[in-house]
Amino acid sequence: MSVLVAPSMLSADFLHLEKEIELVNQSEADWFHLDIMDGVFVPNISFGFPIIEKIALKAKKPLDVHLMIIEPDRFLERFRAAGANLISIHIEACHHLHRTVYAIKKTGAQAGLVLNPASPVSLLENIITDVDYILLMSVNPGFGGQSFIKGTFEKITALRELITRKNSRALIEIDGGVDLSNSRPLAEAGVNILVAGNAIFASKDPITTIKKLKQF
Ligand code: DX5
Ligand code: ZN
């Protein structure tokens, strides 16, 4: 059993961003998780292309870009050009999911779909074989440092079953309130990628925390 860890840079110290990027480079982390918020789909605004481009200049690991924006089709090429290796869009923010998933793939990035806590796994029934990964939100999106919603475990089980039944190769990513108290049960439930912001960057020793999140 092994999991990938994707530190959420939303919780990094933006005054010392280069140092934080180097920390992730040197750690056992697998991806950089970048949260893009538009102030419309979610009640917060984070950062955009200039910051992604700067992170891409220094990052030695793939950039996992989580779009919390409406009408993401408008910007897919630009996110890719800025350095995104993986791009995920919210099912709740997108009218023509199939088209948008293939538009992401056309840019050369891997395509992910994100479900909010209240959105059921059954919405994925007819798209699960088209995507590279599913991101299940375990908090309501918009902010770092929130508490993990326990009902997520039920959704992970349902998603695992759907992936098996449809013979899909999609990976499962979990985002929100992930820490050392739930990383092991999440991995045991079949999660492939853990996103963690506060648990890593607010810890005394982020490199060790990243190591522990991967260790069972
Ligand atoms: C929330 C973001 C998350 C968040 C995770 O909208 O998508 O990636 O930054 O932060 P923690 O791990 O602190 O919940
Ligand atoms: Zn995220």
What per-residue confidence (pLDDT) applies to 142?
98
Q: Tell me the DSSP string of the chain.
A: ---EEEEBGGGS-GGGHHHHHHHHHHSS---EEEEEEBSSSSS-B---HHHHHHHHHH--S-EEEEEE-SSGGGGHHHHHHHT-SEEEEEGGG-S-HHHHHHHHHHHTSEEEEEE-TTS-GGGGTTTTTT-SEEEEESS-TT-SSPPPPTTHHHHHHHHHHHHHHTT---EEEEESS--TTTHHHHHHTT--EEEESHHHHTSS-HHHHHHHHH--
Give the pLDDT score at 159. Answer: 98
Pocket test for ligand 1, best of 86, 175, 180, 186 (most atoms within 8 A of CB): 175
pTM, two decimals, is 0.98
Nearest atom (ligand 1) to Cα of 196: 12
Active-site option among 30, 38, 64, 175? 175
Give the mean pLDDT of 86-94. 98
- pLDDT, residue 137, reads 99
Nearest atom of ligand 1 to the alpha carbon of 146: 14
Task: Answer yes or no: is pLDDT of 216 > 80.
Answer: no
User: Is residue 175 among the annotated active site residues?
Assistant: yes
Whether 38 is a known active-site residue: answer no
pLDDT digits (tens, 9 = 90+) for 174-196: 999 999 999 999 999 999 999 99
Q: What is the pLDDT of residue 117?
A: 98
Closest residue by CA, ligand 1 atom 6: 141
pLDDT of residue 164: 98
Interval between CA 66 and ligand 2 midpoint (Å): 5
At residue 1, does pLDDT exceed 90? no
pLDDT digits (tens, 9 = 90+) for 40-77: 999 999 999 999 999 999 999 999 999 999 999 999 99
Q: Which of 135, 139, 147 to mutate to test the pocket of ligand 1 (most atoms within 8 A of CB)?
A: 139
d(C-alpha 207, C-alpha 204), whole Å: 9
What pLDDT is stored for residue 29 in this prediction? 98
115, 128, 179, 83: CA torsion to nearest 10: -90
Q: How far is the CA of 7 from the centre of ligand 1 (A)?
A: 9
- Tens digits of per-residue pLDDT, 146-164? 999 999 999 999 999 999 9
175 lines ligand 1 (CB under 6 A): yes
**CB 72 near ligand 1, within 6 Å:** no
